[in-house]
Structure 1
Amino acid sequence: MNKSMVRFLLSKLLLIEAALLIVPLIVALIYQEDRTIMFSLLGTMAILILLGSLGIVFKPKNQHIYTKEGLLIVALCWVLWSFFGALPFVFTGQIPNIIDAFFEVSSGFTTTGATILPDVSVLSHSLLFWRSFTHLIGGMGVLVFALAIMENSKNSHLEVMRAEVPGPVFGKVVSKLKDTAQILYIIYLAMFAIFTVVLWFAGMPLYDSLVTAMGTAGTGGFTVFNDSIAHYHSSLITNLVSIGMLAFGVNFNLYYLLLMRKFKSFFGDEELRTYIGIVLAATILIWLNVSGLFSSAKEGLETSFFEVSTIMTTTGFGLTDLTVWPLFSQFILLLLMFIGGSAGSTAGGLKVMRTLIISKITKNQVLSSLYPNRIMSLHINHQPLDKRIQHSVLKYLAIYLAIFIGLVFILTLDSNKFMVVVSAAASAFNNIGPMLGTDKTFAIFSPFSKLALSFAMIAGRLEIYPMLLLFIPKTWSKT
């Protein structure tokens, strides 16, 4: 293993995080916040700069990155960024417990949106902004962002990006990896900027618009107020956020096709059509089921569409009390937690593509029992899907279920409520945020459970394998 290159790249990434902390520092200056907050941000930056500078003093002779190094860099980067990103909260005392702060920032970078805070008003403007800013950076990917700005344009970083971009298949939109990272981030940030302006014109204050847009773009769900989107009492804002969340749950490679005027490829994409179909079907079923809880059919449809959008895209914004909804509707939302958004989007979950592949494999297996001599092929977008990818999806599902069940076992030590435990595990592992069956935050869990949930959030965001490798001794061997 090329440990020197792992050290070198991680050190660069720590310096990038130090630079990103300038943003909340500017917010602190604008709002003329207490010196303690300024010093906490500057102190964290100083630690990151010191460690990062020490790590890049000696440039590795061999700069090639193999699969193992790529996976390791991705996993360690997300853990380190979450840890150091939590320090300002600890230094200021706004989240004094390091495990709680690590949970909160892990939730931010992984765009989960789960929180241990019963009241977000305890946070200053700058740290509340930093909390949501982690959504914006983590949404498209910490390493994708780094590759977009690093000077090395070689495809030696392919394994790093491959390990972080969600979905069963990794594809570059152009031949050069750095160009791919830049194009994806330009599209992503342009959509974020447009959505910020749209929310501002819709009546949100500028600060709120920025925070909400970051939560929407990263499909994370952190907001300015405890009651989330419900605070604004605006049908327009609610519908705009619903549409915005769905837009960021689409594979960003498709937006590139749209820019290239390849409309047939965009609208003919099988995953996109399945994604929209699931959203429409779930919205209609829930609307019919909860119609008696609302004063009008319009309000019921609006709320149903919002909740389906926020859960399907794993954003986790809040609008209404889901604990009073019928079990049928809550169960649909629980299923959507597992499906998640599209591959190559900022959303979490298994991804629509994997769900589509699994359903087609299941169909083929059933048909093969009726026609044992027929050769069954599987097609996605009219193209045959390689058997290797099919097998990798099934293996991923097996590992996914094993980790999920283990996480549920851990959480049962802290709660006897089945819906709370299952939805908490699903929420963290699928990067969603809210729990079903309770109106409390993740503060109800023990420190050990919070650590397990934190690692589950990172594992879910990184498609499991990079985080698993951290705990395998062979990963750290020289060969």
Structure 2
Amino acid sequence: MNKSMVRYLLAKLLIIEAGLLFIPLIVAFIYHEPMKVITSITGTIGLCLLIGLAGNAVKPKNLHIYTKEGLLIVALVWVMWSFFGALPFVFAGQIPSIIDAFFEVSSGFTTTGATILPDVSVLSPSLMFWRSFTHLIGGMGVLVFALAIMANNKNAHLEVMRAEVPGPVFGKLVSKLKDTAQLLYIIYLVMFAVFTLILFFEGMPFYDSLIIAMGTAGTGGFTVYNDGLAPYHSSLINYTVAIGMLAFGVNFNLYYLLLIRKFKAFFGDEELRAYLLIVLSATVMIVLNIGHLYSSLAQTIEYSFFEVSSIITTTGFGLLDMSKWPLFSQFVLLLLMFIGGSAGSTAGGFKVARAVIVSKIARTQALSTLYPNRLFAVHVNGQVLDKKTQHSILKYLTIYLLIFLAVTFCLTLDTDTFMTAFSGAASTFNNIGPMLGTTDTFAIYSPFNKFLLSIAMIAGRLEIYPMLLLFLPKTWSKL
């Protein structure tokens, strides 16, 4: 274990978080906010800089990172950034409980969008901005962002980026890892900027456009109002956001293929086709099921398409009370919670790629039973998927389900409604946001369960393994 490198990178990342906090500080000055809010942000910046500079004082002699260090750094930095990112809310008194603030910021960085706030108007503009800004940072990954601006250290950060980028397989787009990180973030930020301008030109205030665009780009779901997008009363905005969520739920590697004009590879991607087919199928089923609830077919399609886009991309933007929908439609949305978006996107969930592969493995096993003397292979995008990757996906599914059931079990201590506990676990672990079967926020849960759900959100965003490492005794016995 290269302890010095772990310490060095964590300290450097804390300095980066201090730098990011200057942006909400500027917002505080623009809106002439009370000194208490300004000092809460500056105090957090000072604390981050003090600890970061102290840990960064001595550069390690060995800059190499192995898989274990990479996983540990990823897990620790997400917990660390969430804790220090929560401090402005506590210092300002707008979320007095550190557990509640940690939950809120964990929800932000992991792009979950779950909240303990029954009324978001208690937040000042700067802290509301910081809350949503965490979506933008966490969307592509805090370490992908850091790697894009940090020295490459002879490609030593490969294990860090491999541990953070969501999906069954991580690959570099270009020869240098740092260039890959920069390219991903350029594509991501350009799409965010374009989306912000579109919302602004559609009539949304610029501040609101930034908040909604950050929630959409990070597929997070924090908004300016308690009712989500409903206060804007605009079908155009609803459709724009729905399409935007779907766009950010696509594997960003495919956008690179578009840039280099490999259109056949883009449109021929199996995961993309499955992703769009699932959206279409779910929308049609819900339209047919809830048609009697609304005055027109156009309104039914609008609401159905928006909620399907919001849930499958794990964004969780609110538009209406889904608890009033028939059980069938709620169950369709519950299934979408587990499927999630594409691998390599900002969306959470199990990922469409894994769902496609698991279904192909099941089909292959069934055919092998019928034809025991034949050999069957699993193909993805025309290539044979090796047994090692197949086994790793099935192992991931097993661990995924066990952790989900454990979280659900704990939540039943605080609620008598099974749908609330089940969807609460699904919502946080899959980084979605809203619960089904209730209009309550996550404030209904005990401090223990709020902390548990915070860890579940981070584990779901990092796809379990980095966070599991924190709870293995062997990890710490060798330090």
- Cα RMSD, aligned residues only: 0.6
Distance apart, 1:416 and its partner CA:
1.1
Q: How does 1:281-296 map to 2 (within 5 A)?
A: 281-296=281-296
What does residue 208 of structure 2 align with?
208
In 2: Cα distance, 1:60 partner to 1:414 partner: 47
CA contact (8 A) 1:168 1:353 kept: yes
SS at match of 1:359: helix
The yes-or-no answer on 1:195 pairing with 2:195 is: yes
Instruction: List alignment gaps of at least 5 residues for structure 2.
Output: none
What does residue 23 of structure 1 align with?
23
The yes-or-no answer on 1:67 pairing with 2:67 is: yes
CA distances 1:292-341 after superposition (whole Å, capped 9, x unpaired): 11110000001000000000000000111101100000000000000000
What does residue 80 of structure 2 align with?
80
CA contact (8 A) 1:153 1:178 kept: no
In 1: Cα distance, 2:187 partner to 2:152 partner: 21
CA distances 1:338-367 after superposition (whole Å, capped 9, x unpaired): 000000000000000000000000111111
Q: How does 1:49-198 map to 2 (within 5 A)?
A: 49-152=49-152, 154-198=154-198
In 1: Cα distance, 2:245 partner to 2:154 partner: 34
In 2: Cα distance, 1:71 partner to 1:467 partner: 8
CA distances 1:31-83 after superposition (whole Å, capped 9, x unpaired): 00000011000000000000000001111001100000000000000000000
SS at match of 1:228: coil
Distance apart, 1:89 and its partner CA:
0.2
Q: How high is the TM-score relative to the length of structure 2?
A: 0.99
What does residue 278 of structure 2 align with?
278
Distance apart, 1:231 and its partner CA:
1.1
CA contact (8 A) 1:196 1:210 kept: yes
What does residue 335 of structure 1 align with?
335
**Structure 1 runs of 4+ off > 3 angstroms?**
none
What does residue 322 of structure 1 align with?
322
In 1: Cα distance, 2:260 partner to 2:293 partner: 45
CA distances 1:268-295 after superposition (whole Å, capped 9, x unpaired): 0000000000000000000000001111
In 2: Cα distance, 1:265 partner to 1:417 partner: 46
Partner AA of 1:251 in structure 2: N
Number of residue pairs the alignment of both structures matches: 479
In 1: Cα distance, 2:221 partner to 2:290 partner: 23
The yes-or-no answer on 1:397 pairing with 2:397 is: yes
What does residue 42 of structure 1 align with?
42
Distance apart, 1:20 and its partner CA:
0.1
Instruction: List alignment gaps of at least 5 residues for structure 1.
Output: none
In 1: Cα distance, 2:462 partner to 2:200 partner: 33
Partner AA of 1:154 in structure 2: K
The yes-or-no answer on 1:365 pairing with 2:387 is: no
Partner AA of 2:202 in structure 1: A
Distance apart, 1:153 and its partner CA:
5.3
What does residue 5 of structure 1 align with?
5
In 2: Cα distance, 1:40 partner to 1:61 partner: 37
Q: How does 1:388-467 map to 2 (within 5 A)?
A: 388-467=388-467
SS at match of 1:155: coil
Partner AA of 1:335 in structure 2: L
What does residue 380 of structure 2 align with?
380
SS at match of 1:188: helix
SS at match of 2:156: helix
In 1: Cα distance, 2:383 partner to 2:53 partner: 48
CA distances 1:353-390 after superposition (whole Å, capped 9, x unpaired): 00000000011111111101111100000000011000
CA contact (8 A) 1:154 1:177 kept: no
In 2: Cα distance, 1:151 partner to 1:369 partner: 53
SS at match of 1:307: helix
Partner AA of 1:205 in structure 2: P
In 2: Cα distance, 1:12 partner to 1:455 partner: 23
CA contact (8 A) 1:153 1:176 kept: no
Q: Percentage identity across aligned positions?
A: 74
What does residue 228 of structure 2 align with?
228
Distance apart, 1:155 and its partner CA:
1.3
CA contact (8 A) 1:154 1:178 kept: no
